């Protein structure tokens, strides 16, 4: 399917990304700071989430607002599976017996819960994937909202809007690093596979791709399901990181920040997904410690409370103004060199296929 | 008087060079055709003049002023009007609204009213349905509408991209007949892109041949039709 | 009969707010292909602009103390001003960026405005008393409804009519309509891009102010998340109505309000909490049936 040389060339990207993540993990361990380790763990979980988003959004070009819903699905699934039966009987009486009476180990849940999310994605995707563009985006928004409404109100099974507690807190820095590495590898493998290529072809020039035999709906569905699986993994990791879940943790806030990280990093590139998370998480951490106050000389310098969020918003806007295609300019990090300084790199990765239609039909 | 002068215009779309160091000039009152095969850069040339794409290099002078890289709305105010490929009527607006749209840049309101009446005389079909949405017109009628619309802006130079596209031959004849009549009435300068050089040879005027972003031939349309330079340019590889 | 009337008025008044919100989104989307996710925060900003910054649960009115005749224009102006400012500072520089970038920028802007309000006012919802007399019930055709509900409907109709007249009868309106259909072509005919866009933002901002006033009068609270739930529906209504179609956005807004209220009545008691899920399900169904929207503009489509 893929030529050897092509494989070699592109292989450097996931390798570089994985190395980057390992270095960050190592640094975190070296500092020996518990809180910092937790922060890095959470960052890695976000990497899994955003890479999962990239698998669908980056390859299909369709902006999906609904994927965090899959995270919700799998987070609750792992809660159902791994919380000790004693606690489940109180908070989620309506669960079927095979869940209520048993408790599964994390390793089982790590496979089953994302599969659950992926199955749901498959069923829903069969309906949604025939939509394109903005109609698809709004439909995924509606999907997110539906999941949120159902999980917030189906008290007997999900505990409703109150948090479900008792999830074994097993996600440490190495587990989350593992998750991030696996996510990157899945994303890379999908990207160079003929499925990924076909979908990207359809993204750039739908009619030509279709005329060449690409079944756009099927390819989108494949990406949708794969991305749901990866995001499902993020959901499991997150649930076992926090120890609690509630529906609002997987709603608008997380959706916006994850999409922002993806776009700021570079929506159409895997490197963009990873870099977006790392850079923005880094900035958030710096601002957070600035708010707590850092000691300079003998005094503590701190920025006023509440400014931290405003600052991150402003920084993201500034990045987008100066780099509209994101930090990576939609290119990948490769062994060939730094993509950031490439001269003449245009705002788009490829020239518009039919320039005539581009210039006039911009509104369509 | 040289109305339009392009000097070494280069236009790129990303890594793709669509137009390479193109230079040409138009005298006032001239009729010039730009022909060439698909993808030659004809539309790009017009778009560069109109301000829709910004040339990477070179200058464009309209009546002496450099308009390269300026905004389309400013270029329109300098006496240039363009009818792009594919007609692009404002389907939701009425015919009269379409016609009136371009008049915002004119200050001579009385003359605008006269012009509008004149347009309706030339295009009676437009007058009949002047309050219905332009989206309902036939292809040929839409072509007439966009030409009339461009003229309502009162330009000195009007550029038309592929006026024959998607029209039946009889209709194309009508469109050209009207166009040329208007040209003579108002002393317009015409710059027309046509994929087939046949129209150019029928109508007369100057012809410029583009291929792969470069101007490879210029001359009187009828003269070129006689010789075989045209065929060589279209089909020959590496000869010009 | 009375019950039916009650339902109709409920649907119309909820639908009116959704319609106004959808209009604000559709206006900007029409000329810029941008869905302004910050719009809900413009609404919240306008609401809190009436209060003096404080963290108390009881709102201290500042501008809110102005007589109505002044208060309304001032709030509308604040909305317009904030909206125009976002265009000048941010969106103008992203004019040619891809839709995803513009969208994330608008989230980020909304986020910034939201936290700015949070910093000054804290997240506690504050109770406000704005035009309390309007809560008094009025009898219309046998149904009793608060005057405010009726007013919301009347105000919405007035605004929609005024906007329609503006768009149909004025030069600016003509240019905006043309720009919404094909921006580049309009520019080639001399329409000034920046002016049209600024106008769209200004009107959109004023609509945000109007919604803010209506919401405060209706709910009696100032809550930072106020714009949020309305906006979700507004985005959906804009798309369902047909992108670029203003009448479509209005009608879709009213429709969603109507369906919401209808669901509340029709659904069996057990299913009521899931009402919103049904509404969103209906949205998806609508999109599958007509992805281009119910009233997609008739612009001549390019055939490849």
ipTM of the modeled complex = 0.89
In a domain, residue C257? The reply is no
Residue A111's pLDDT is 93
Q: Is residue B198, in this structure, part of any structural domain at all?
A: yes
The token pair at B51 is 């301000």
* H/E element, A31: helix A4-31
C-alpha A343/C-alpha A336 separation (Å) is 15
- B-chain CB neighbours of A348 within 8 Å are 14
The DSSP element (H or E) to which A191 belongs, if any, is: helix A173-192
A362 touches chain B (CB under 8 A): no
In angstroms, rounded to a whole number, what is the distance separating the alpha carbons of residues B143 and B164? 9
Predicted local distance difference test score (pLDDT) of residue A165: 86
Interface test with A, best of C22, C242, C287 (most A CBs within 10 A): C287
Domain of residue C223 covers 21-228
Please give the pLDDT value at position A349. Answer: 38
Task: List B220's β-bridge partners, or say none.
Answer: B206
What sign does the CA torsion over C208, C212, C218, C221 have?
positive
Nearest to B151 by CA among B197, B114, B124: B114
Residue C293 lies in a domain: no
How far apart are the C-alpha atoms of B70 and B51, rounded to whole Å?
A: 6
pLDDT value, residue A348: 39
Please list every residue in chain B whose beta carbon sits closer than 8 Å to the beta carbon of residue C182.
88, 90
**What pLDDT shows up at residue A251?**
92
**Pairing label, strands A294-296, A299-301:** antiparallel
Q: Which residue shows structure tokens 């008792």?
A: A166
C58 CB neighbour count, 10 Å cutoff: 9
C-alpha A101: how far from chain center:
33
Asked if the Cβ–Cβ distance from A263 to C232 is below 8 Å, we say no
Residue B15 lies in a domain: yes
pLDDT of residue B240: 43
User: For testing the chain B interface, which of A343, A346, A347, A356 should be mutated: the one with the most B CBs within 10 Å?
Assistant: A356
Tokens describing residue A167: 């999830």
- What pLDDT, on a 0 to 100 scale, did the predictor assign at position A352? 37
DSSP string, chain B: -EEEEEEEEEEEETTEEEEEEEEEEEETT-EEEEE-STTSSHHHHHHHHHTSS--SEEEEEETTEE-TT--HHHHHTTTEEEE-TT----TTSBHHHHHHHGGGG---HHHHHHHHHHHHHH-HHHHHTTTSBGGGS-HHHHHHHHHHHHHHT--SEEEEE-TTTT--HHHHHHHHHHHHHHHHHHT-EEEEE-SSTHHHHHH-SEEEEEETTEEEEEEEHHHHHHSSHHHHHHH-SS--
Give the closest residue to B146 by CA, choosing from B105, B109, B93: B93
Helical spans, DSSP H, in chain C = 2-32, 39-48, 68-89, 99-121, 147-169, 171-181, 183-188, 193-219, 226-241, 246-266, 275-289
Say if residue B38 is exposed, middle or buried (CB neighbours under 10 Å; 0-12, 13-18, 19+): exposed
B55 inside domain: yes
Interface test mutation site (partner A, options C102, C105, C252, C260, max chain A beta carbons within 10 A): C105
> Would you say A230 and A206 are in contact if contact means Cβ atoms under 8 Å apart?
no
Residue A326 or residue B224, greater confidence? A326
Q: Which residue of C has its CA nearest to A315?
A: C108
The Cα-based distances of C10 to C13, C124, C207 in angstroms read 5, 28, 21
Structural domain total, chain C: 1
pLDDT value of position C202: 96
DSSP assigned state of C303: P
B146 in a domain, yes or no? no
Residue in A344, A348, A355 nearest the CB of B18: A355
Task: Say if A351 is an interface residue toward chain B (CB within 8 Å).
Answer: yes
- Say how many Å lie between the first and final Cα of chain B, rounded: 30
Q: How distant, in Å, are the alpha carbons of A55, A60, A350, B116, B160 from that of A203?
A: 13, 5, 11, 45, 32
**Which pLDDT value is given to residue B236?**
61
Residue B49: which of B30, B22, B29, B87 has the closest Cα?
B22
Between CA C157 and CA A124 the distance in angstroms is 38
* Domain of B23, in residue numbers: 2-87+154-235
| C-alpha distances out from residue A114 to A34, A44, A75, Å | 28, 17, 9
Nearest CB neighbour to A351, from listed B15, B52, B84: B15
**For every one of its 364 residues, what pLDDT tens digit does chain A have, with 9 covering 90 and above?**
556 766 777 788 888 899 999 999 998 888 888 888 999 999 999 999 999 999 999 999 899 999 999 999 999 999 999 988 888 887 888 888 888 888 888 899 999 999 999 999 999 999 999 888 888 888 999 999 999 999 998 888 888 888 888 888 888 899 999 999 999 999 999 998 999 999 998 888 878 888 888 888 999 999 999 999 999 999 999 999 999 999 999 998 899 899 999 999 999 999 999 999 999 999 999 888 887 777 666 667 777 777 888 999 999 999 999 988 889 888 888 766 655 544 334 443 333 333 333 344 333 3
- What pLDDT score does A357 carry? 36
User: Regarding beta strands B2-13 and B16-27, do their DSSP bridges make them parallel or antiparallel, or are they unpaired?
Assistant: antiparallel
Q: Are C265 and C212 in contact (CB under 8 A)?
A: no
Domain boundaries, chain A: 7-246
How far is Cα A76 from Cα A120, in angstroms, rounded to an integer?
13
Q: Closest CB to B97: pick one of C174, C190, C300.
A: C174
Q: What are the CA-CA distances from residue B178 to residues B119, B123, B130, B152, B174 (Å)?
A: 11, 9, 19, 15, 6
Pairwise CA distance, residues C156 & C211, whole Å: 10
Residues B23-64 have pLDDT tens digits of 999 999 899 999 888 788 899 999 999 999 999 999 999 988
8 Å CB contact of A348 and B86 = no
pLDDT for position B119? 86
Q: Do B71 and C187 touch (CB under 8 A)?
A: yes
Residues of C in contact with A307 (CB under 8 A): 119
Distance separating alpha carbons of residues B12 and B20, to the nearest angstrom = 9
User: Contact B44/A346, CB-based, under 8 Å?
Assistant: no
Number of folded domains that form chain B = 1
Angle at A169 between CA A165 and CA A170, to 5 degrees: 150
Contacts of C188 in chain B (CB under 8 A): 50-52, 72-73, 76, 81-82, 84
Distance CA A46, CA A260 (A): 12
Q: Which two tokens stand for residue C95?
A: 């004019």
CB contact under 8 A, C184 and B102: no
Total-model pTM:
0.86
Q: Can you give the pLDDT at residue A305?
A: 74
The rounded distance, in Å, linking the Cα atoms of C27 and C49 is 24
Chains in contact with B, counting 3 or more C-beta pairs less than 8 Å apart as contact: A, C
pLDDT in tens, chain C (304 residues): 677 888 888 888 889 999 999 999 999 988 888 889 999 999 999 999 888 777 666 667 777 677 778 888 999 999 999 999 999 999 999 988 888 889 899 999 999 999 999 888 888 888 887 777 777 777 777 777 778 888 888 999 999 999 999 999 999 999 999 998 888 999 999 999 899 999 999 999 999 999 999 888 888 888 888 888 788 888 888 888 887 788 889 999 999 999 888 888 888 877 778 888 888 898 899 889 888 877 776 543 332 2
Contacts (Cβ under 8 Å, ≥6 apart) of B94? B130, B131, B132, B133, B134
C95 touches chain A (CB under 8 A): no
We report the CATH number of the domain holding residue B78 as: 3.40.50.300
- Which residues of chain A neighbour B82 with C-beta distances below 8 Å? none
3-state secondary structure of A337: strand
Chain C from 161 to 180: CB within 8 A of any B CB = 171, 174-175, 177-178
Distance CA A2, CA A29 (A): 38
| CB atoms A360 and B53 under 8 Å | no
Q: Which residues of A69-93 are buried (b: 16+ CB within 10 A; e: fewer)?
A: bbbbbbbbbbbbbbbeeeebeebbe
Compute CA distances A352 → A288, A346, A361, B33, B39, whole Å. 42, 11, 12, 26, 13
């Amino acid at each position: 399917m893929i030529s050897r040389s092509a494989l070699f060339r592109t292989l450097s990207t996931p390798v570089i990304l994985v190395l980057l993540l390992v270095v960050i993990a190592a640094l975190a361990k070296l500092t020996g700071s518990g809180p910092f380790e937790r922060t890095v763990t959470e960052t890695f979980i976000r990497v899994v989430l955003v890479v999962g988003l990239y698998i669908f959004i980056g390859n299909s070009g369709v902006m999906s607002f609904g994927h965090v819903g899959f995270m919700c699905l799998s987070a609750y699934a792992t809660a159902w599976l791994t919380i000790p039966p004693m606690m489940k009987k109180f908070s989620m009486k309506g669960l079927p017996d095979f869940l209520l009476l048993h408790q599964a180990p994390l390793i089982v849940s790590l496979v089953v819960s994302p599969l659950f999310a992926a199955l749901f994605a498959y069923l829903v995707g069969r309906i949604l994937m025939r939509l394109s563009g903005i109609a698809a985006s709004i439909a995924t928004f509606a999907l997110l909202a539906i999941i949120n409404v159902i999980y917030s109100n189906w008290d007997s099974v999900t505990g409703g809007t109150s948090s479900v507690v008792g999830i074994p807190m097993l996600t440490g820095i190495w587990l989350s690093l593992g998750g991030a590495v696996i996510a990157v590898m899945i994303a890379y493998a999908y990207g160079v596979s003929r499925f990924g290529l076909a979908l990207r072809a359809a993204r750039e020039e739908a009619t030509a791709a279709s005329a060449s035999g690409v079944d756009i709906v099927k390819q989108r569905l494949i990406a949708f399901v794969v991305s749901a699986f990866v995001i499902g993994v993020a959901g499991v990791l997150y649930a076992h990181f926090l120890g609690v879940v509630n529906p609002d943790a997987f709603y608008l806030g997380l959706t916006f920040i994850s999409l922002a990280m993806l776009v700021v990093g570079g929506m159409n590139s895997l490197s963009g997904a990873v870099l977006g998370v790392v850079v923005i998480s880094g900035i958030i951490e710096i601002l957070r410690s600035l708010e707590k106050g850092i000691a300079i000389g003998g005094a503590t310098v701190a920025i006023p409370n509440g400014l931290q969020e405003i600052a991150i918003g402003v920084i993201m806007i500034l990045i987008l103004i100066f780099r509209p295609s994101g930090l990576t300019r939609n290119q990948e990090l490769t062994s060939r060199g730094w993509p950031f300084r490439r001269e003449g790199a245009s705002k788009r990765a490829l020239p518009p296929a039919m320039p005539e239609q581009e210039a006039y039909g911009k509104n369509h | 008087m040289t109305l339009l002068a392009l000097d070494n215009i280069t236009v790129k779309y990303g890594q793709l060079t669509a137009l390479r160091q193109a230079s040409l000039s138009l005298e006032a009152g001239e009729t010039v055709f730009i022909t060439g095969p698909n993808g030659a850069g004809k539309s790009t040339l017009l778009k560069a003049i109109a301000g829709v794409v910004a040339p990477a290099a070179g200058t464009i002078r309209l009546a002496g002023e450099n308009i390269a890289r300026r905004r389309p709305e400013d270029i329109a105010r300098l006496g240039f009007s363009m009818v792009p490929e594919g007609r692009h009527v404002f389907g939701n607006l009425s015919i009269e609204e379409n016609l009136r749209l371009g008049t915002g840049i004119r200050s001579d309101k009385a003359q605008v009213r006269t012009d509008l009446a004149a347009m309706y005389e030339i295009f009676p079909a437009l007058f009949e349905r002047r309050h219905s949405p332009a989206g309902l017109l036939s292809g040929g009628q839409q072509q007439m509408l966009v030409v009339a619309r461009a003229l309502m802006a009162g330009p000195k130079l009007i550029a038309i991209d592929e006026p024959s596209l998607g029209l039946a031959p009889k209709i194309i004849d009508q469109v050209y007949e009207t166009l040329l009549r208007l040209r003579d009435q108002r002393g317009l300068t015409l710059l027309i892109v046509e994929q087939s050089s046949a129209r150019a040879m029928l109508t007369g005027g100057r012809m410029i041949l583009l291929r792969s972003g470069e101007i490879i031939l210029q001359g009187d349309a009828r003269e070129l039709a006689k010789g075989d330079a045209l065929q060589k340019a279209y089909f020959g590889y590496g000869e010009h | 009969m009375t019950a039916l009337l009650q339902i109709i008025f409920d649907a119309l008044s909820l639908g009116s707010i959704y319609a106004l919100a959808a209009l604000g989104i559709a206006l900007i989307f029409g000329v810029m292909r941008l869905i302004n996710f910050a719009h809900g925060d413009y609404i919240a900003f306008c609401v809190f602009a009436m209060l003096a910054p404080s963290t108390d649960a009881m709102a201290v009115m500042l501008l809110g103390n102005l007589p109505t005749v002044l208060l309304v224009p001032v709030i509308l102006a604040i909305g317009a001003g904030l909206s125009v400012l976002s265009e000048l500072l941010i969106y103008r520089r992203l004019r040619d960026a891809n839709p995803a970038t513009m969208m994330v920028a608008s989230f980020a802007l909304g986020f910034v405005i939201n936290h700015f309000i949070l910093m000054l006012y804290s997240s506690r919802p504050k109770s406000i008393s704005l035009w309390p007399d309007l809560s008094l019930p009025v009898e219309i055709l046998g149904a009793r409804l608060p005057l405010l509900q009726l007013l919301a409907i009347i105000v919405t109709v007035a605004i929609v009519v005024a906007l329609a007249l503006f768009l149909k009868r004025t030069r600016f309106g003509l240019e905006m309509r043309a720009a919404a259909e094909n921006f580049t072509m309009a520019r080639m005919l001399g329409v000034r891009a920046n002016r049209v866009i600024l106008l769209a933002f200004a009107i959109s901002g004023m609509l945000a102010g109007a919604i803010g006033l209506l919401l405060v009068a209706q709910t009696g609270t100032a809550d930072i998340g106020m714009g949020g739930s309305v906006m979700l529906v507004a985005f959906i209504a804009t798309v369902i109505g047909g992108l670029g179609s203003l009448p479509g956005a209005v009608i879709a807004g009213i429709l969603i309000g109507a369906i919401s209220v209808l669901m509340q009545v029709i659904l069996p008691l057990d299913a009521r909490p899931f009402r919103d899920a049904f509404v969103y399900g209906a949205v998806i169904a609508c999109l599958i049936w007509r992805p281009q929207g119910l009233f997609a503009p008739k612009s001549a489509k390019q055939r490849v």
